[in-house]
Structure 1
Amino acid sequence: MVQTPRRDGPPSVHHVAARAGVSLATVSNVLNHPERVAEATATKVRDAIDALGYTPNRNARALASGRTRSIGLVVSSLRNSLFTDMVTGAQTAARAEGSTLLVTNSDNDLEAQAEHLAFMESTRVSGILFASMTTSREQVEAVRQHGLPVVYVNYEPDDVDACSVIVDNEQAGYVAATHLIEQGCRRIAFVSARPDWQPVARRRVGLLRAVAEHPEVELIDVDAEDIDPPGGTDAGVRIAAMPPGQRPDGVLGVTDLLAMAVVTELRAAGIRVPEDIPVSGCDHNSVAWGGAVPLTSVTQHGEEMGAEAITLLLAELAEGPGHVHRTVVLGSELIARESTLGRARGAAAQAATKPSDPRRTEA
């Protein structure tokens, strides 16, 4: 006669083994290697699991295997919808593959970022998606040297051999600047900060390429000191205070939050947007889609980036040492709104807008 263990909490594998009349090893094989167990025995174990409502202890299985079915995602800032979109895309893709997603937000703090990477490793995740604005090589290598794969998201490393998925930020800067030029702008202010951040630097490269194609266009760099709204507020005040003859006739904010704050200050000073100064953003933050003056911006395909990153990570896990690292590049498309087109044209443009194709390329 099999003695049933005491029940002082949720059913355990011991209770399943006792109810099915089998050993703990047999229950473990049914859960992890069912091909090793005779069908009649496996049926008894599954019936016991169903009757008891037993759920496998994932933590215990992680300790045994060394890894969980979880994937970590460390993002720079959840204030920007680009990163919340990444979370959505990665979570959907991970779930479809039977994995869960753990998310931490470093809020652009490198010390917090290092702590979050260490935390992810301590939870025995299978791998990490790393959405940083800078290379952070030492932080990443500290994790990878323990055999944990890391996929960069929204950043293409040039000093680390790793997979990455990015949006073509040079193209983003180019199409935004070209659009302003097409609206008749000839003195374009580029409101930006943190030139050391790769997306910022690449957007500026694209802007410079567009300006170089039009010799009659002058570029005015406006240092915002901060990529968040306070930096845009200060930049907007300074632009509004310029004499009309020296004031730019177009503004490109390297982020939508900067551009939105500039719009607010220009309007507060009696300067019309876009009639006097068209303003565009560059990272398609959903916060900027509404408001008094809906903002023209450039798509970033956050959900697609998150999903592609999961695909790259799972491929690396499956392929092991023979895996060849690669970079997936998604295109950028302009979404024109009222801040550059005016109300009537902006409404018409929105009505005609169709879902964009990220135009995936691989290197």
Structure 2
Amino acid sequence: MDRSQLGWERSHDNGAIMPRPPHQRTTIIEVARQAGASKTSVSRYFSGERERLSPDLQGRVAEAARRLGYRPNRMASGLKGGRSRLIGMLVADIRNPFSVAVMHGVEQACRERGLSLMVCNTDNDPAQEREHLALLASYRVEGLVINAVGSPDRELQALVDQGTPLVLLERELGEVEAEVVGLDNARALDLALDHLQTRGYGELLYLSEPPEQASPRQARLMRFLQGIAARDLVGEVHCRPLGEREALHRAIGDFLAGPGTAPRALLCANGNATLAATRALQELGARLGETGLLGIDELDWCALVGPGITTLAQPTEAIGRAAVECLMRRREAGECTTPSRRVQFQASLISRGSTRR
């Protein structure tokens, strides 16, 4: 093995092999020399044009870069060629299990295309959202997946005008033309209501965070109200911040203690609501199944609590991958202002003991 592969280099003065300074980066010229290729070929490999090289040459460049520990300078490449190979992702709450699961699908799709993912968390703060959008624009991201919390129409329109394709994750915005990728909320709520009615539950309490902050919450709440009316079910709604534990416990306790003999069930709008409802039911001493519980979003712990919690699982991996596919299609077509369209996925019902009377 050439000692240059082990962090050594040859002196230009006397030909002696000297250790490479630990802070010195391997250059593209060294990779080309090691691979027996031209500098142009190596540059093409790392700039997203590797398909122009033969499979054998691609393999030699990859192996040389691995042996030498070469990492391309993405920022320098972006400034020189106008392509950063970066995809930006803006999430409303990085602690939300749905956001983490979709992010994994986005990252996997980016990696397969030789792209890097830059994630910014707004923590449900519109001011942070605007700051992060400015940051992502400064890094010249080649596309942006957005799980919006506010209404940054002006900032997003500026990105569109600069030629940056956008994809909205779940939450729609009023004025920006962009594709929206997410769950078919109407069919998901219909599936939940049909399941609960079939299992004999006649009175339902719908639990959600305030819907005015996010369009998926609005869509799910409206479909719940329409659905209980169409099915002749009795329904109540509690849409308050989930951190207000006393108010949540009081609402659930009053619902369970209310008049009437029809079996009762809780329908939770997302994973955070399901967790809050499960804690409240345990503290109130309610038995799952006798009191029904169904949550939108499948979480790892749902199969471990009591008889198991019935959920509607979202295909989060597919949603994340579809978002990147939409970005790439728009970027390759050079069209960032085409009319918006929706890419909707279906939920899958996972029936467990919490809806088995």
Q: TM-score range by the shorter chain?
A: 0.7 to 0.9
Name the counterpart of 2:279: 264
Mind listing any 5+ residue stretches in structure 1 that lack a counterpart?
A: 343-363
**1:163 is the counterpart of 2:179:** yes
Contact 2:160–2:337 (CA<8 Å) still a contact in 1? Answer: no
Name the counterpart of 2:302: 288
**1:199 is the counterpart of 2:216:** yes
How do 1:26-175 and structure 2 match up within 5 A? 27-28=39-40, 31-32=43-44, 54-133=70-149, 135-175=151-191
Name the counterpart of 1:329: 344
SS of 2:296 mapped into structure 1: coil
Contact 2:86–2:118 (CA<8 Å) still a contact in 1? Answer: yes
1:314 CA drift (Å):
0.6
TM-score (norm 1): 0.77
One-letter identity of the residue aligned with 1:123 = Y
Deviations 1:82-138 (A, max 9, x none): 111111111111111111212222222222222222222222221111122555323
Using the alignment, how far apart are the partners of 1:19 and 1:186 within structure 2?
72
Contact 1:191–1:232 (CA<8 Å) still a contact in 2? Answer: no
Using the alignment, how far apart are the partners of 1:323 and 1:14 within structure 2?
40
1:211 CA drift (Å):
1.2
Name the counterpart of 1:238: 251
1:205 CA drift (Å):
2.3
Using the alignment, how far apart are the partners of 2:311 and 2:178 within structure 1?
30
One-letter identity of the residue aligned with 2:160 = R
Name the counterpart of 2:354: 339
Deviations 1:2-30 (A, max 9, x none): x959976223357679999x9xxx73575
Using the alignment, how far apart are the partners of 1:337 and 1:142 within structure 2?
47
Using the alignment, how far apart are the partners of 2:215 and 2:158 within structure 1?
22
1:54 CA drift (Å):
4.9
1:307 aligned to which of 305, 321, 325? 321
Deviations 1:324-361 (A, max 9, x none): 4432111123222222125xxxxxxxxxxxxxxxxxxx
SS of 2:231 mapped into structure 1: coil
Contact 1:236–1:261 (CA<8 Å) still a contact in 2? Answer: no
Contact 1:134–1:198 (CA<8 Å) still a contact in 2? Answer: no
Deviations 1:173-210 (A, max 9, x none): 22212222222222211122322111111112222232
1:233–1:199 Cα change, 3 Å: farther
Equivalenced residues, count: 327
Deviations 1:17-46 (A, max 9, x none): 9999x9xxx7357523999xxx9xx99x97
Using the alignment, how far apart are the partners of 2:329 and 2:44 within structure 1?
22
One-letter identity of the residue aligned with 2:218 = A
Name the counterpart of 1:350: none
1:66 CA drift (Å):
2.2
Name the counterpart of 1:298: 312
Using the alignment, how far apart are the partners of 1:18 and 1:4 within structure 2?
16
One-letter identity of the residue aligned with 1:313 = L
One-letter identity of the residue aligned with 2:247 = D
Contact 1:174–1:203 (CA<8 Å) still a contact in 2? Answer: no
SS of 1:281 mapped into structure 2: strand
Using the alignment, how far apart are the partners of 2:32 and 2:285 within structure 1?
77
Using the alignment, how far apart are the partners of 1:199 and 1:135 within structure 2?
14
1:58 CA drift (Å):
2.4
Contact 1:240–1:271 (CA<8 Å) still a contact in 2? Answer: no
1:317 CA drift (Å):
0.8
Contact 1:76–1:108 (CA<8 Å) still a contact in 2? Answer: yes
Using the alignment, how far apart are the partners of 2:137 and 2:40 within structure 1?
26
Using the alignment, how far apart are the partners of 2:150 and 2:309 within structure 1?
27
SS of 2:211 mapped into structure 1: coil
Contact 1:170–1:204 (CA<8 Å) still a contact in 2? Answer: no
1:118–1:289 Cα change, 3 Å: farther
One-letter identity of the residue aligned with 2:96 = N
Name the counterpart of 1:351: none
Instruction: Report the identity percentage.
Output: 26
1:291 CA drift (Å):
2.6
Name the counterpart of 1:189: 205
Name the counterpart of 1:213: 230
Farther-moved stretch of structure 1 (248-257 vs 180-189): 248-257
SS of 1:313 mapped into structure 2: helix
1:29–1:82 Cα change, 3 Å: same
Using the alignment, how far apart are the partners of 1:322 and 1:235 within structure 2?
43
1:287 CA drift (Å):
4.4
Name the counterpart of 2:4: none
